[in-house]
Amino acid sequence: MTLPAFWRQPSFSVVETADLIGVSEATLRAWLTRAPPGDFLGVKTSGRIHFSGRHLFYYLLVAHLSAYGVPIRTALHAAARHATDELPGEEWLVVKTAGAVTNFELAEDIPTTAAPALILPLRALAVGLTGRAAVVYATEGA
């Protein structure tokens, strides 16, 4: 899959980003105050913040991780490893929490272990998000 232009260029407002990743605008703004890595703060132009598709994918991962119970700062830093300039591979991100310790592991196949875990299909999440974002991007361009 060829990545669309909006994957790398800031094209989505805070409101659009929150809607695309399924969180409230207030939640996204709260995450922005929690000091995400500098690459994921968005681009501020004319007093407004805009995000690229890569940023959207990053915050989508943060949403999934935090919904699973991963502390927000941990989720912000863990998601940064997987939101790159390229589309993710076919790996599964396996997240296991035991007490105060959260472990992240990439797996080629869905693990068969019985331990409770969050299992995220990285490429499928990115492709789905890109499809939804393309509709918003096309609407804005019209």
Of 96, 32, 93, 21, which Cα lies nearest the Cα of 63? 21
The H-or-E segment that residue 122 falls in is helix 122-141
Average pLDDT over residues 84-103: 89
User: Among all chains, which residue has been given the structure tokens 């969180």?
Assistant: 23
Q: Spelled out in words, what is the top-level CATH class assigned to the domain 5-85+123-141?
A: mainly alpha
At 104 the pLDDT is 93
Render pLDDT for 120-139 as a digit per residue (tens, 0 to 9). 999 999 999 999 999 999 88
* Secondary structure of residue 103 in the 3-state scheme: strand
* Secondary structure of residue 52 in the 3-state scheme: coil
At 139 the pLDDT is 84
At 1 the pLDDT is 65
At 114 the pLDDT is 58
For residues 51 and 22, the answer to whether their CB atoms sit within 8 Å is no
At 141 the pLDDT is 55
* CB burial of residue 21 (10 Å; 0-12, 13-18, 19+): buried
At 80, give phi and psi (nearest 5°).
Answer: -60, -30
- pTM across the whole model: 0.92
Average pLDDT over residues 48-61: 95
Which pLDDT band holds residue 142 (cuts at 50, 70, 90)? very low
Residue 110 CB contacts under 8 Å (≥ 6 apart), including other chains: 92, 119
Average pLDDT over residues 44-71: 94
Higher-pLDDT residue of 112, 51: 51
